[in-house]
Amino acid sequence: MSTGHLLVLGGSILWMLLCMRFWYAIDREHVWQRRFIAIGAGIGGGLIYLIGTMMLEMLKETPPPSSEEAAEIRVSPGVPEPKK
């Protein structure tokens, strides 16, 4: 697992722990508030992980084109050059 994946996973877990802190702070009589916090923790943690891994894929470096592909370019001798 790379450093980026660990950071994304850590951010997701940190979000869930923060929501769990609020879940414990809410009185047990407010059942629906606690349920919404729990749902928000799960959905938010999952979205942080999903978006984080998608961003890691976008930030990967692409290898430079190989010189073999450049050798395959052909120029037709019968086509005149454009006038300037």
- Within a domain: residue 48? yes
Could you give the number of structural domains in the chain? 1
The pLDDT value given to residue 65: 66
pLDDT block averages, 10 residues each, the chain of length 84:
90 94 93 94 95 91 66 67 73
Q: Which residue has the tokens 């890691």?
A: 56
The pLDDT value given to residue 71: 58
- Within a domain: residue 27? yes
The pLDDT value given to residue 1: 76
The pLDDT value given to residue 66: 65
Please give the torsion angle defined by the CA atoms of residues 63, 5, 53 and 21, in that order, rounded to the nearest 10 degrees: -160
Structural domain boundaries enclosing 53: 15-61
- Within a domain: residue 28? yes
The pLDDT value given to residue 29: 94
The pLDDT value given to residue 75: 67
Residue 57 CA to residue 60 CA, distance in Å, equals 5
- Within a domain: residue 76? no
- Within a domain: residue 81? no
